[in-house]
Amino acid sequence: MQLQRTDGQADRKLGPAVGANAAARRQLASLWQRGCEFFGCERAIMGGAMTWVSERNLVAAISNSGGFGVIASGAMTPELLDAEIAATMALTQRPFGVNLITMHPRLMELIEVCLARRVGHVVLAGGLPTGPAIQRINAAGVKAMCFAPALVIAKKLLRMGADAIVIEGSEAGGHIGPVSTSVLAQEILPHIREVPVFVAGGIARGEAMLAYLEMGAAGVQLGTRFVCAIESIAHPRFKQAFIRAGARDAVTSMQLDPRFPVIPVRALANDATKRFLAFQREVIDRVNREEVTQKEAQLEIEHFWAGALRRAVIDGDVESGSLMAGQSVGMVTCEQTTAEILDDLVAQAEAVLASRFATEAGRPIADSAAEMRG
Ligand SMILES: Cc1cc2nc3c(=O)[nH]c(=O)nc-3n(C[C@H](O)[C@H](O)[C@H](O)COP(=O)(O)O)c2cc1C
C-alpha cells in the first residue's frame, strides 16, 4: 500500500487514503502487540517448525524479516541441535525459538541445550508435554509454548505452566488433529485470555491472519507458505510440487483398519500415499493369516514412513518421499523471498483495515479509527 505523493492536488486526493493507511498500520500493530511483545519481534508471525525445512537459513530469514523463526529439531541429537542453534545465531541477532518433539527419547537433554544456548522460547510439539519438561523450561525463565487440540487441554496446559498456546487446525501440513482451525479458534480464543494464543493451519493470506487476530489471537503460525521461500533449503523438486499443487491435493493419510491406528498426516498425494494403502492391506492380510502378530504389524505400518520426509525435502524424491503440506499449498504459486512473504501478509491485512477506515461514511478518519480501536 505504498502511495506516491506528487503535487499538492494529488496530496489532497490521497489525503484520506494516506490517513487510512496510517490508521490501518496502527490498528494492526495494536492487534498483534501482545504477540510481538511475547516474541520480541515486529510481526507476530511464527514460522511453524518443519522438520528438515526449518533449519538455520529459513529460521534466520524469518526472524531477520521481522517474524519469529523456529528451528525444527525433529529427531536431532542434542549435539546436532546445539550446532544448529549456534549456526542460526550466527545468521541473526534477532530472537528465534526451538521446536522439540515431546516423544523424543532425549527430550530433557534437548531442553538443556536450548537453555544453555539461552534460546528464549521452546515449543513443545507432538503430544502432551510432561509437567517436568514445562517446569524445567519455566525455572530457567524461558517461555514454554504448547499445542492445545481442545479447550480442556489448553486449560490443563495453563495449569502446568505453559506461557503460550498454539492451536493448529486440520488444514495444516504434517501431523494433524481432527478439528479445523476455524472451529478450534472459536472454541479456544474467547476463553483463554491468561496467555497469548497463536493460530495455525490453513493461513496463507493476510486477510485470514487479520480475522484470527480480530478474534483474539496474539499472532499466527504458518508452515506451508514458507516452504517455497528462496531461503528455504527444500529441494527444487519439493518446491515445484508445492507450486503445482492445489488445495485438494493435500490429503490426510488413511487408516484401513481400526486395529492398526495411523496418525493422520496431511501431505500431497503421490506414489507413496497410494503404496501406503496397499502396504496396510498386505500387512493386515498377513495378521489375518496369523503370519505376524498384531504388534509386529503395527510396527511395520509405523515404519513405512521412516525417513520419507527427508527423502522428499532433501533428496527431492517426490514420488516415494513424504510431501507434507497443508491445504494452503494452493496459494503457494511461486518462489519468493521470506521478506516478500511477510510483507505480502502484512500488506493484505493492512489493505482490509485501510479500506474499512477509508469507507467509514461521512466521518473523519481519525474518529472512525478511534472508534475501531475502542
Ligand atoms: C513439511 C512440514 C513439516 C512439518 N514438521 C513439523 C514438525 O517437525 N514439528 C511441528 O510441530 N510441526 C510441523 N509441521 C507443522 C508446522 O509447524 C505448522 O504448524 C503448519 O504447517 C501450519 O499450518 P499450514 O501448513 O497450513 O501453514 C510441519 C509442516 C510441514 C508442511
Q: What is the reported pLDDT for 1?
A: 32
Decide whether any atom of ligand 1 lies within 6 Å of the 53 Cβ. Answer: yes
Distance 176 CA to ligand 1 centre (A): 9
Residue nearest to atom 19 of ligand 1 (CA): 48
Which residues, other chains included, contact 337 with Cβ-Cβ below 8 Å and sequence gap of 6+? Answer: 61, 229, 230, 231
CB 252 within 8 A of CB 266: yes
> 156-204: per-residue pLDDT in tens?
999 999 999 999 999 999 999 999 999 999 999 999 999 999 999 999 9
Decide whether any atom of ligand 1 lies within 6 Å of the 125 Cβ. Answer: yes
- Report d(CA 28, CA 138) in Å as an integer: 30
Q: What is the reported pLDDT for 16?
A: 65
> 287-325: per-residue pLDDT in tens?
999 999 999 999 999 999 999 999 999 999 999 999 999
* Fold of the CATH domain 15-222+337-368: TIM Barrel (3.20.20)
Atom of ligand 1 nearest to the CA of 52: 3
Q: What is the reported pLDDT for 361?
A: 41
Q: What is the reported pLDDT for 220?
A: 99
Distance 216 CA to ligand 1 centre (A): 22
The dihedral of CA 318, 323, 326, 332: what is its sign? negative
- Report d(CA 42, CA 203) in Å as an integer: 19
Distance 142 CA to ligand 1 centre (A): 22
**Residue 255 cell numbers, joined:** 487408516
Decide whether any atom of ligand 1 lies within 6 Å of the 326 Cβ. Answer: yes
- Report d(CA 156, CA 69) in Å as an integer: 27
* Per-residue pLDDT tens digits of the chain, which is 374 residues long: 333 333 334 434 456 677 999 999 999 999 999 999 999 999 999 999 999 999 999 999 999 999 999 999 999 999 999 999 999 999 999 999 999 999 999 999 999 999 999 999 999 999 999 999 999 999 999 999 999 999 999 999 999 999 999 999 999 999 999 999 999 999 999 999 999 999 999 999 999 999 999 999 999 999 999 999 999 999 999 999 999 999 999 999 999 999 999 999 999 999 999 999 999 999 999 999 999 999 999 999 999 999 999 999 999 999 999 999 999 999 999 999 999 999 999 999 999 999 999 887 445 545 544 444 43
Decide whether any atom of ligand 1 lies within 6 Å of the 172 Cβ. Answer: yes
Q: What is the reported pLDDT for 18?
A: 77
Which residues, other chains included, contact 52 with Cβ-Cβ below 8 Å and sequence gap of 6+? Answer: 72, 74, 234, 309, 310, 313, 314
**Residue 295 cell numbers, joined:** 504388534
CATH 3.20.20.70-classified regions of the chain = 15-222+337-368
Instruction: Tally the C-alpha atoms within 13 A of residue 191's C-alpha that lie toward its C-beta.
Output: 15
Q: What is the reported pLDDT for 22?
A: 95
Specify the pTM: 0.92
Residue 185's H or E segment, with its range, is helix 181-188
Q: In this structure, what DSSP letter does residue 330 have?
A: G
Distance 209 CA to ligand 1 centre (A): 17
